[in-house]
Amino acid sequence: MINKEIVVCYNTIGKTLTRTFQKSTRKKIKHYTRGDDMSQSMAAKHSIWPREKDIIFNLSARAQQAEKELGTNNVINATIGALMDDEGKLITMDTVYDEYKSLDNKDISAYAALEGQPDYLEAVKKVCFKDYLPEGYIKAVASPGGSGAIKLAAWNYTEEGDEVLTSDWFWSPYVSITEEIGRKVTTYKLFDEQNNFNFNSFKESFLNIASKQERIFTILNTPAHNPTGYSIPDEEWDKIIDLAKEVSKNPDKKIIFFVDIAYIDFASDDNASRKFFKKFSNLPENVLTIVGFSMSKGFTAYGMRMGSAICITSSENVSEEFYYACVHSCRANWSNCNRGAMKLLSNIVNDEAKFKAYTEEKNKHKQMLRRRADVFVKEAEKVGLDILPYRDGFFVSIPCENSRAVCEELTKDNLFMVPLKAGLRFAVCAVNEDKCKIAPSMIKNALEYIKSKDLAEVK
Ligand SMILES: Cc1ncc(COP(=O)(O)O)c(C=O)c1O
Structure confidence by residue, pLDDT tens digits, 283-302:
999 999 999 999 999 999 99
pLDDT at 52: 74
How far is 19 from 33, CA to CA, in rounded Å?
7
Q: Is 81 in the pocket of ligand 1 (CB under 6 A)?
A: yes
Which of 124, 175, 226 to mutate for ligand 1's pocket (most ligand atoms within 8 Å of CB)?
A: 226
Q: How confident is the model at residue 459 (pLDDT cuts 50, 70, 90)?
A: low
Q: Is 221 in the pocket of ligand 1 (CB under 6 A)?
A: yes
Write the DSSP symbol of residue 267.
Answer: S
DSSP string over 355-393 = HHHHHHHHHHHHHHHHHHHHHHHHHHHHHT-------SS
Looking at residue 145, its amino acid is: G
| 298 C-alpha to ligand 1 centroid (Å) | 11
Boundaries of every domain in the chain = 2-47, 55-92+356-458, 113-350
| 118 C-alpha to ligand 1 centroid (Å) | 23
Q: Is 227 in the pocket of ligand 1 (CB under 6 A)?
A: no
Q: Is 164 in the pocket of ligand 1 (CB under 6 A)?
A: no
Number of other CB atoms surrounding residue 399 within 10 Å = 16
| Residue 58 scores a pLDDT above 90 | no
Q: Is 134 in the pocket of ligand 1 (CB under 6 A)?
A: no
Please tell me the number of Cα atoms within 13 Å of 17 on its side-chain side: 15
| Residue 454 scores a pLDDT above 50 | yes
How far is 147 from 170, CA to CA, in rounded Å?
14
| 220 C-alpha to ligand 1 centroid (Å) | 13
**Three-state SS at 184:** strand
- Taking only the tens place, the pLDDT of each residue in 138-167 is 999 999 999 999 999 999 999 999 999 999
pLDDT at 39: 73
Q: Is 146 in the pocket of ligand 1 (CB under 6 A)?
A: yes
- Taking only the tens place, the pLDDT of each residue in 96-145 is 999 999 999 999 999 999 999 999 999 999 999 999 999 999 999 999 99
| 147 C-alpha to ligand 1 centroid (Å) | 6
b/e string for 204-224 if b means 16 or more Cβ within 10 A?
A: ebbeebbeebebbbbbbbbbb
Q: Is 294 in the pocket of ligand 1 (CB under 6 A)?
A: yes
- Taking only the tens place, the pLDDT of each residue in 398-444 is 999 999 999 999 999 999 999 999 999 999 999 999 999 999 999 99
Check if the beta carbon of residue 404 is closer than 8 Å to that of residue 387.
Answer: no
- Class assignment of domain 113-350? alpha beta
Q: Is the peptide bond before 223 cis (omega within 30 degrees of 0)?
A: yes
How far is 187 from 174, CA to CA, in rounded Å?
11
For residue 138, the cross-strand partners are: 312
Q: Where are the alpha helices (H) located in 213-273, listed in sequence order?
A: 234-248
pLDDT at 37: 60
Measured by CA distance, the residue closest to atom 7 of ligand 1 is: 146
Segment holding 312, helix H or strand E: strand 307-313
| 302 C-alpha to ligand 1 centroid (Å) | 9
| 318 C-alpha to ligand 1 centroid (Å) | 26
User: Average per-residue pLDDT in the chain?
Assistant: 92
Secondary structure of 5-59 in HEC code, one letter for each residue: EEEEEEEECCEEEEEEEECCCCCEEEEEEECCCCCCCCCCHHHCCCCCCCHHHHH
Q: Is 314 in the pocket of ligand 1 (CB under 6 A)?
A: no
**Three-state SS at 74:** helix
- Region for 205 from its dihedrals, namely left if φ exceeds 0, alpha if ψ lies in -120 to 50, beta otherwise: alpha
Which ligand 1 atom sits closest to the C-alpha of 171?
1
Secondary structure of 83-143 in HEC code, one letter for each residue: CECCCCCECCCHHHHHHHHCCCHHHHHCCCCCCCCHHHHHHHHHHHHCCCCCCCEEEEEEE
Measured by CA distance, the residue closest to atom 6 of ligand 1 is: 146
Measured by CA distance, the residue closest to atom 14 of ligand 1 is: 81
Q: Is 260 in the pocket of ligand 1 (CB under 6 A)?
A: yes
Looking at residue 418, its amino acid is: V
| 423 C-alpha to ligand 1 centroid (Å) | 20
Please state, for a pLDDT cut of 70, what percent of the chain lies above it.
91
| 445 C-alpha to ligand 1 centroid (Å) | 31
- Class assignment of domain 55-92+356-458? alpha beta
How far is 390 from 387, CA to CA, in rounded Å?
8
Looking at residue 396, its amino acid is: V
Which of 83, 291, 293, 294 to mutate for ligand 1's pocket (most ligand atoms within 8 Å of CB)?
A: 294
pLDDT at 25: 46
Cα distances (Å, whole numbers) of residue 152 to 34, 258, 301, 322, 350: 31, 11, 20, 10, 27
pLDDT at 34: 46
Which position has the higher pLDDT, 59 or 2?
59
- Find all residues with CB under 8 Å of 272, minimum gap 6, and list them: none
Indicate the angle between helix axes 339-349 and 94-101, nearest 10 degrees. Answer: 120
Write the DSSP symbol of residue 191.
Answer: B
pLDDT at 38: 60
Q: Is 82 in the pocket of ligand 1 (CB under 6 A)?
A: no
Identical fold for domains 55-92+356-458 and 113-350, yes or no, is no
pLDDT at 240: 98
pLDDT at 9: 40
Which ligand 1 atom sits closest to the C-alpha of 147?
9
pLDDT at 366: 97
